[in-house]
Structure 1
Amino acid sequence: MRKNETVRAALALAIRANLPVLLWGAPGTGKTSTVVALARQLEMPVEVVVGSIREPSDFSGLPVVRDEGTWFAPPRWAERLASAESGLLFLDELTTASPAVQAAMLRVVLERAVGDLVLPGRVRIVAAANPPGLAADGWELSAPLANRLVHLDWQVAADDVAKGFVHGFGAPGAALVAAPTRTRIAAAKAQIGAFLRVRPELVLVVPDTPERSGRSWPSPRTWEMAAIAIAAGAANGSDEAVVAALVIGAVGEAAGFEALSWLRNLDLPAPETLLNDPAAPLPDRADRLHALLGSLVAHVVADGSTSSWERAWSVIARVAAATPDVAAASAQTLAANRPAGASLPVSMLALAPVLRSAGLMP
């Protein structure tokens, strides 16, 4: 898969997973054409908002005095998206938007709020920017705004342009991309959490220069986005390069490559395997046990059945016998999600001290 095919596939995956994305690339290279074509493929109405010609009030709302107080009226583009109840908001030319406009965009990207209007959850956000050196009167992207986006580097090749002229500039198969389930997202978060236990210094790495702070860097927010990207990739059987582009686009190259390498070497049994065979072999490393139990509990909570909840305790008890500190967090989460009518299995008694300390057992 060529570089730009990877980026197009990553963009389609991010849109379905509701990850806000920023495409970095030179002017005139087809970013807008691709986003608009993707929106058509996904049957989403699209609103293109050019940052360089907007004012802060176009995002924070224009104050209007009413009898009951002041209302921050949203612009027409936001009202159209709200009326459609879904769609794609394309924020173009971010680096030519002034710092004041970038600041006003923060709530739009993070909270989907435009003035006093909250955009529906089905509205997706994609942005585009030229590197400041290629943008007329360009500014570096502010760190708070950059940390709310997955950054993808847009490249162009003659073959891509030729195909785009004939077949359009969307992404092949974009309409077939599925959103990740809550179970997959919870399992991916558990794996990222296990990785961060091993590398706690990567939880937050604030860049020390404006250039670096305007791109992707690790924070709790971006690690969550990385986990959602991993879940989306698993849900669609995506190419490894596509998932890697999104993970690196969320947390940066150094942290992203390290996390992907760690995840590639996990080699954990599936939760269903552990539930059906409580004596199945368990990994001996603490980080892998954290990832394993996190995925198991996420699966059981999503399943919601009494049977899987009761059987999961046998696995947690086995881990607790050797490494109780690893089992503690998963035991607390499992106990807090007890299905109605589920009985307390005998294996749970070994964890009674842990559960009592958490206030989850008398």
Structure 2
Amino acid sequence: MDTNVVLEALSVAVSAGVPTLLWGSPGTGKTSAVKALAESLNWPVEVVIGSIREPSDFAGLPVVADGTVRLAPPAWAQRLSSAGHGLLFLDELTTAPPAVQAAMLRVVLERVVGDVQLPEGVRVVAAANSPEDAADGWELAPPLANRLVHLTWPVNAERIARGLAVGFPRPALAGFQRRADARQNAVARATVSAFLQVRPALVLQMPKGPASGQGWPSPRTWEFTATLLAACEATEAGPDVRAALITGAVGEGAALEFLSWLENLDLPDPVRVLADPDAFELPRRSDRAFAMLTSVTAVAVAADDRTLWEAGWKVVAKAAQVAPDIATLAARTLASHRPAGAYIPATLLELTPILRAAGLIQ
């Protein structure tokens, strides 16, 4: 994989708040890339090396005060908490023994260290060598692997030679300049939801062996996928970046299926559908119909706008004529998210059987 693709993918993931892990051989510039990203953002960075830490460095050290026991965080966590933002860089992850990896679980995903909740602006990046390359290496435990998006750090002789001569490229900052909005997030979540309706077996596939080096499908990593999909749209990231991030989240097999399905989906923009609901036509293919109707209702709900909410009901009414089962799900979503001041549209009279079937009216 091209280094620029990985650098952009790293920037997009960090900007979206998704914990990310760089896999690569020792001495290939992973740490330098993370520090360069922090420097470009003018963020503080705290480097924590797994092999020289104890579980208490993440779970907190018990301290008795005023008759109670609290878990005091280490100095690096206190500095990040005071700064309000920054990068927590967990280096040499596969040199951390299982007990330390277990203590890292809440830190990686929830940013909780001891009794301290790190601010939202603190992002987590990790780096690791494969266990056979690491000094006294350990396999990455599946629960920890499932909390990270895995990116493979490439080694390119030409890039190294050019970097030594003129300097190495810095990570792109597009993700920090253009954040995903409510519409993009809603459409991305609806799209992932539609795919999992088609392929329910991919909702959860626990690895049979060690998970080192790859992500795997779970509800958590599909949520990562939706977040990253929205971030890629916001930043206009290329297909290589999107593929790298989704593969890093759910693994190669699931990502290949999802990306192939996504490429052939060819859905209209839900905003345009809501702008002219009378021109709406439900696709014949059931997965496309579900994806389209789910994204339209998601956008109508996310906007919290009376006009869009009422337009959403018009779309649902048309869909109910050919696909009442799908329309029932959309009607439930709209009915439970009525904006302030919105009137019950006349369209609802046509949907009485659908709403009764959904249990929304008696």
Q: TM-score range by the shorter chain?
A: over 0.9
Question: Structure 1's 258 and 180: CA in aligned 2 closer, same or farther, altered over 3 A?
Answer: same
CA distance in 1, matches of 2:178, 2:162: 25
CA deviations over 1:261-280 (Å, ceiling 9, x no partner): 10111111111221222223
The corresponding residue for 2:328 is: 328
* Contact preservation (8 Å) 1:151, 1:250: yes
1:1-362 equivalences in 2 (<5 Å)? 3-165=2-164, 166-174=166-174, 177-210=177-210, 212=211, 215-278=214-277, 279-356=279-356, 360-361=360-361
1:187 alignment partner AA:
V
C-alpha offsets along residues 61-113 of structure 1, whole Å, 9 cap, x if unaligned? 00001114111000010011110111110000010000000000000011110
1:280 aligned partner, one-letter code: F
C-alpha distance in 2, partners of 1:310/1:203? Answer: 33
Matched residues in 1 for 2:52 and 2:349: separation?
65
Secondary structure of the 1:131 match is coil
**TM-superposed deviation, 1:331:** 1.2
Q: CA deviation at 1:164?
A: 3.4
Cα 1:119–1:19 shift into 2, 3 Å: same
Q: Please report how far the alpha carbon of residue 223 of structure 1 lies from its aligned counterpart in structure 2 after TM superposition.
A: 0.7
Provide the aligned length of Structure 1 versus Structure 2.
360
Structure 1 runs of 4+ aligned residues shifted over 6 Å read: none
Cα pair 2:86 2:123 within 8 Å, conserved: yes
Distance 1:358 1:83 in 2: 49
Letter in 1 for 2:348: M
Q: Which amino acid aligns with 1:320?
A: A
Closer, same or farther: CA 343–175 of 1 in aligned 2, 3 Å: closer
**In structure 2, how many angstroms separate the alpha carbons of the residues matched to 1:354 and 1:66?**
60
**In structure 1, how many angstroms separate the alpha carbons of the residues matched to 2:232 and 2:152?**
19
Paired letter, 1:352: T
- Deviations along 1:35-66, one digit per CA (max 9) or x if unpaired, are 00011112221111011100000000000011
State the 1:361 CA deviation. 4.1
RMSD in angstroms over aligned alpha carbons? 1.7
Q: Distance in 1 between matches of 2:120 and 2:100?
A: 23
| Cα 1:74/1:173, change in 2 over 3 Å | closer
Give SS of 1:8's match.
helix
Letter in 2 for 1:265: N
Helix, strand or coil for the counterpart of 1:128?
Answer: strand
Structure 2, gaps ≥5 residues long: none
Q: Which amino acid aligns with 2:206?
A: V
- Partners of 1:249 and 1:6 lie apart in 2 by 13
Rounded to whole Å, the distance in 1 between the matches of 2:99 and 2:213 is: 15
- Distance 1:93-1:169 versus aligned 2 partners, 3 A rule: farther
Deviates more, 1:22-31 or 1:157-166: 157-166
Return the alpha-carbon distance in structure 1 between the equivalents of residues 28 and 212 of structure 2.
Answer: 25
8 Å Cα contact 1:42/1:174 also seen in 2: no
Q: Which runs of 5+ in 1 are unaligned?
A: none
Q: Any conservation in 2 of the 1:141–1:215 contact (CA below 8 Å)?
A: no
Maintained 8 Å contact 1:16/1:177: no
8 Å CA contact 1:38–1:174 kept in 2: the answer is: no
**What is the distance in 2 between the residues matched to 1:280 and 1:175?**
33
Q: Which deviations, in whole Å up to 9, do the C-alpha atoms of 1:140-192 show, x marking residues without a partner?
A: 00000000000001111123224434334422455754222232122111101
Pair 1:280–1:175, CA change in 2 (3 A):
closer
Q: Distance in 2 between matches of 1:189 and 1:98?
A: 36
TM-score (norm 1): 0.95
Counterpart code for 1:171: P
The Cα shift of 1:283 comes to 1.0
State the alpha-carbon separation in 2 of the partners of residues 10 and 124 from structure 1: 15
